[in-house]
Structure 1
Amino acid sequence: IGLIPNTGFLNGFLQMNELGEIIVDQDCHTSVDGVYAAGDVTSIKGKQIIIAAGEGAKAALEADEFLMKQS
């Protein structure tokens, strides 16, 4: 819990902004195909629990759809 995302271990793997937040699109896709992110570590505007929970659900659905297409 905090205001600074702990994403340093992802440097060079995912695209991040100047605040160290993971850049995602409206469907929680990151810069790496098949990798999704949600919550306060992302570049979404609203940093609230209810928004993070909704984004988490969206990311899970997107990941499920991605995996279903792989099989």
Structure 2
Amino acid sequence: LTTYALLPKDLERLAKQPLHVLVLDEAQYIKNPNSKAAQAARDLQARQRLCLSGTPLENHLGELWSQFHFLMPGWL
């Protein structure tokens, strides 16, 4: 369990943990695919990934694309 601000800093430690499920609550925080938090979230390996968000799309479709890129890389 970590925050989006700490995720890039904790990445080395979290990457060592075997993850079965990786859940991003308030997933709109990774709406910018070039942000450090989004890149760190994509770098974590997990068998299943989930995004939970009340506002998956605020300004443009690229925000939704970023969440799908986390969930299923290369699908869109």
Is the pair's TM-score, using the shorter chain for normalization, greater than 0.5?
A: no
Tell which has more relative contact order, 1 or 2 (C-alpha 8 A, sep 6+).
2
> Comparing both structures, which one devotes a greater share of its residues to strand?
2
Query: What TM-score results when the alignment is normalised by the length of structure 1?
Result: 0.29
> Comparing both structures, which one devotes a greater share of its residues to helix?
2
Query: What TM-score results when the alignment is normalised by the length of structure 2?
Result: 0.28
